[in-house]
Amino acid sequence: MSALIKGFPEAVTITEVGPRDGLQSIAQWVPTEAKIEMVNGLLAAGLRQFEVTSFVAPRAVPQMRDAAEVLAGIDRSFGAELTALVPNAKGAERAVEAGVDAMVVFMSASESHNQANVNCSRERSLEGFREIVRIAEAAGIEVKGAIATAFGCPFEGNVPDSAVADLAKAYADMGIRRITLGDTTGMATPPLVQSRCRTLAAEVPGSDVTLHFHNTRGVGLACVYAGLLEGTTRYESSVGGLGGCPFAPGATGNICTEDLIYLLDECGVQSGVDGEKVAEVARRMEDLLGYPLPGQVMHAGPRLALKPRDAVRSSSGSAA
Amino acid sequence: MSALIKGFPEAVTITEVGPRDGLQSIAQWVPTEAKIEMVNGLLAAGLRQFEVTSFVAPRAVPQMRDAAEVLAGIDRSFGAELTALVPNAKGAERAVEAGVDAMVVFMSASESHNQANVNCSRERSLEGFREIVRIAEAAGIEVKGAIATAFGCPFEGNVPDSAVADLAKAYADMGIRRITLGDTTGMATPPLVQSRCRTLAAEVPGSDVTLHFHNTRGVGLACVYAGLLEGTTRYESSVGGLGGCPFAPGATGNICTEDLIYLLDECGVQSGVDGEKVAEVARRMEDLLGYPLPGQVMHAGPRLALKPRDAVRSSSGSAA
């Protein structure tokens, strides 16, 4: 069956990043067992690509200090691809030892954000990745390349297409084909999605692009819409929209996995994932964390879960 | 300047429905003066179409019991169109007396929702509208027609295009050209938006369609995207996303005006409204109500409000 919107692809692949991008900003400790249960629940829902954790310094991101234990606890029988973020060779070695299926290196499209985020220049970041690639090759696993601030930088403002294309080419030169465009601080817009996708298709034709949006300014799924119209088939999202800072509504994080699935389902785009089962995992995470997550479908329920007639007060005369 | 996305219109008109659809579900009394200040602030931001209030039974919707006082307090020097919802002839007479520029009648596309909402059949609703139209004609003002549950009914499920087209035709027969499709319980999806717009354009060619979405399942702005691609130039939204029930995240209401403006601005679609000024009004409403509103831009701030470099902790190594 083809999609219901002309120009949309028939099927897409979702990478669940809640365990990493979602949880990393949460100060409250999430027990290792809960992290494992979350991933195993999402595997049961049909997700097959995960950014499970990151092998960064435990001091820098305490929530990720159980990276190896989380990986060890995940059910491998589904044949899913489990990846982890690695900032340097030491992290890459820990990731290999823990049994990741692929590792993700990351740098920013803007110099000042790279400095602020990883405390070195983009050039030095790229140099460091060569060693990570060697470690991965020796272990027989793939390296994926993430480009942070790919749609704008909180310090520099707009980022040109050329800066993103240059990094994608540098990744390609190292043999890294799978590129993720990260909307780090929620600056992606539909026209930027369009121009990034077209620029990469033209200038780095061998690359396989994944789009990673944040819903910081409410247009996360509108950006997905733009990406789908460009034929992009890979998206990253977070169960329940995990990752928004609970007490600062402005810090809304990744787009929400089950809301993304709802959009895809309704547009006839196959994802192979059961959105209701993802919503169940989201509700369990909400219970565990003790505050509302930004996901909408997890609270509203399925579109066709019909209500008994007395659910609406008669004669309110106002539900236009 | 043309829009940045091919197929989008160059300009759209936003009708602000926060004072009516946003406030009506809020139990906490919003003082008349605050309602007036909200509308006057939005006028200063550039909005020129408002659904200001409803002339319903005060017992049924206590928040709207000051309808006439609110209308009397609004600055008319901007030449904005101020409309009010009217359920019956009595409401229409009160609305005329209070000086509305147009009135909005409403009924549901689905029989069971019409029964639940206004306690009568759709046929009887239509009969009642004839008297309202006479009252409006005598007063020299226009009547607009809203169709609730236009994208789905919480009791009956899917609603066919034909049910919506039939009501639009019935409205047209009464001389009502301006039709609003109401996404009463957040069941609109991009393919439904597409088919409703195309059906109405083909079957009720004289009608002027406004789209009114709720963000209940997170796809409100994706539905706007679909509407823009159909060339639809009229949208309804609520400042701050007002209307979501504060203590039930599932009850997210209307799409948020300043988030909609952000999407339009970034796509090069003119609205004539200053989104930052709308966000200021949203923040004042949030302070007044005492709980977070669902709007995103009001919390995140403008896309290019650059941060000082020390705003991001160095060496966190995690902001991919």
Q: Within B31-121, where are the H helices?
A: 32-45, 67-73, 89-98, 111-118
Facing B112 at nearest CB: one of A154, A309, A316: A309
Q: Cα distance from B256 to chain A (closest Cα, Å)?
A: 9
Q: Is A141 on the interface with B (CB under 8 A)?
A: no
Chain A residues whose CB is inside 8 A of the B256 CB are 218
Chain B residues whose CB is inside 8 A of the A106 CB are 320
Task: With CB atoms and an 8 Å threshold, state whether B218 touches A297.
Answer: yes
Which residue in the block uniquely carries the two structure tokens 């206004």? Answer: B118
How many Cβ atoms from other residues are within 10 Å of residue B131's Cβ?
A: 14
Chain A residues whose CB is inside 8 A of the B156 CB are 306
Three-class SS state of A105: strand
Q: Is B318 on the interface with A (CB under 8 A)?
A: yes
Task: With CB atoms and an 8 Å threshold, state whether B301 touches A250.
Answer: yes
- Given the candidates 2.60.40.1180, 3.30.70.580, 3.20.20.70, 1.10.645.10, the CATH classification of the domain at B13-311 is 3.20.20.70
Chain A residues whose CB is inside 8 A of the B307 CB are 154-155
Q: Is B245 on the interface with A (CB under 8 A)?
A: no
Give the pLDDT of chain B (320 residues) as one tens digit per residue. Answer: 689 999 999 999 999 999 999 999 898 999 999 999 999 999 999 999 999 999 999 998 999 999 999 999 999 999 999 999 999 999 999 999 999 999 999 999 999 999 998 999 999 999 999 999 999 999 999 999 999 999 999 999 999 999 999 999 999 999 999 999 999 889 999 999 999 999 999 999 999 999 999 999 999 999 999 999 999 999 999 999 998 655 454 557 999 999 999 999 999 999 999 999 999 999 999 999 998 899 999 999 999 988 776 554 443 444 44
Q: Tell me, what's the ipTM?
A: 0.94
Q: Cα distance from A76 to chain B (closest Cα, Å)?
A: 26
The predicted pLDDT at position B47 comes to: 98
Chain B residues whose CB is inside 8 A of the A264 CB are none
**Domain definitions of chain A by residue range:** 13-311
Dist CA A145 CA A176 (whole Å):
6
- Give residues with Cβ within 8 angstroms of B134, minimum separation 6: none
Q: Which of A308, A258, A188, A217 is nearest to B217 (CA)?
A: A258
Q: Cα separations (Å) of B268 from A197, B52, B180, B231? A: 19, 28, 24, 14
The pLDDT of residue A102 is above 80: yes
User: In chain A, whose CA is at the least distance from the CA of B310?
Assistant: A116
Q: Is A2 on the interface with B (CB under 8 A)?
A: no
Facing A319 at nearest CB: one of B117, B219, B292: B117
Task: With CB atoms and an 8 Å threshold, state whether A316 touches B115.
Answer: no
Facing A267 at nearest CB: one of B119, B190, B249: B190
